């Protein structure tokens, strides 16, 4: 889990630097003057962050050995029924 966290922080850190390098880039040549036209903003960071968040949520359902995490359950005897049979109750965390 720690490796995935470090990898995701490093990936986000590298992507923010790449986005900052393109901050003052002009999409229109200087001789064109479009006062009512704004250049389209193609920001993919929300999609990348959402994908990483969903990936981390998916990884959290598995333990360190790749097995699915199951709730810890146990059975306790809570008494007897009217025919003398044991009655068991299952508890899960």
- pLDDT, one tens digit per residue, over 20-52 is 555 555 555 555 555 555 666 678 888 899 999
Among 19, 21, 24, residue whose Cα is nearest residue 42? 19
8 pLDDT higher than 60: yes
CA trace torsion 68, 72, 78, 83 (10° rounding): 20
pTM of the full predicted structure? 0.34
Q: Using one digit for the tens of pLDDT, what is the confidence trace for 45-87?
A: 888 999 999 888 888 888 777 777 778 899 999 999 999 999 9
């Amino acid at each position: 889990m720690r490796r995935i966290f470090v990898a995701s922080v490093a990936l986000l850190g590298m992507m923010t630097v790449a986005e900052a390098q393109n901050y003052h880039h002009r999409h229109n040549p200087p001789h064109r003057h479009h006062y009512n036209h704004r250049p389209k903003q193609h920001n993919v960071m929300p999609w990348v962050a959402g994908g990483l968040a969903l990936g981390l949520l998916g990884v959290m359902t598995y333990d360190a050995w790749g097995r699915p995490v199951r709730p810890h359950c146990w059975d306790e005897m809570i008494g007897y029924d009217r025919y003398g049979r044991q009655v068991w109750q299952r508890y899960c965390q």
